Amino acid sequence: MILSSRRRHAQLGLAAAFVVLSASVATLLVVPAHSKPVAVADVGTLAPDFQLEDLTGTQVTLSSFRGQAVVLYFCSGESQLSKAYDDRVERLAHDYTGDARVQFFAIDVAPNGTIDPLSLRLDSSVAARPFPTLLDNRGIVATRYSAVSARTPTVVVINPRGEVRYRGPFDNNPDLAFATRHLCDEALRDVLESSTTAVATMHR
């Protein structure tokens, strides 16, 4: 009787262990499907789609501009370095005024909070932009585009097929007097000329 009781307990223990093991395996199989990292905008990959509000509250969706080259200018109204780059980006945008092949967007990034649209509308440097400014509250889009630093402006050039062709600084020196390469301009020209050569990411 004692031996039979022990055998019964052993069988119950094995059954319980099997149930736990089965549940663990099921968890391993199911969890990865829901915990894959969000795709980021690496050069050569499809640009992650997004929907952001502009300064008037209008929703803007990136995918609606498929068929055009798109330049995203990640910046911050609170950054003096961003303000220093505003003129350079605006000059390049002016070069393509009336060119239906190209669309520029500034994306104002607030990594740790939300942006007051009214304060940006009253900012003369923002109001002077010849292209829309979008609001990236909490820096969600900037994170997907690896442009999370609000202090250092980052530009992304996307080709008409929706692929990222360049991500990095606008040029090779924050001081315009010492800038010898206009990287964003080069990347955009490359895209518009339908070059098959990928523009390498410039690392800061």
38-59 residue pLDDT tens: 556 788 999 999 999 999 999 9
63-78 residue pLDDT tens: 999 999 999 999 987 7
Residue 203 has pLDDT above 70, yes or no: no
83-124 residue pLDDT tens: 889 999 999 999 999 999 999 999 999 877 788 888 888 888
Residue 15 has pLDDT above 80, yes or no: no
CB 123 within 8 A of CB 130: no
CATH class, domain 51-192, is alpha beta
Q: Helices 183-192 and 80-95 sit at what angle, rounded to 10 degrees?
A: 30
Q: What is the pLDDT of residue 113?
A: 77
Residue 182 has pLDDT above 90, yes or no: yes
> Could you please report the per-residue DSSP string of 32-84?
HHH-PPPP---TTSBPPP-EEEETTS-EEEGGGGTTSEEEEEEE-TT-HHHHH
pTM of the model: 0.74
99 Cβ partners below 8 Å, 6+ apart? none
Q: What is the pLDDT of residue 11?
A: 55
Q: How confident is the model at residue 126 (pLDDT cuts 50, 70, 90)?
A: confident
Q: What is the pLDDT of residue 57?
A: 92
- CA angle 111/108/70 to nearest 5° reads 120
Q: What is the pLDDT of residue 64?
A: 97
Strands 102-110 and 59-61: unpaired
Mean pLDDT of the chain, nearest integer:
79
Q: What is the DSSP letter of 174?
A: S
Q: What is the pLDDT of residue 20?
A: 40
Q: What is the pLDDT of residue 197?
A: 41
Say what percent of the chain tops pLDDT 70. 73
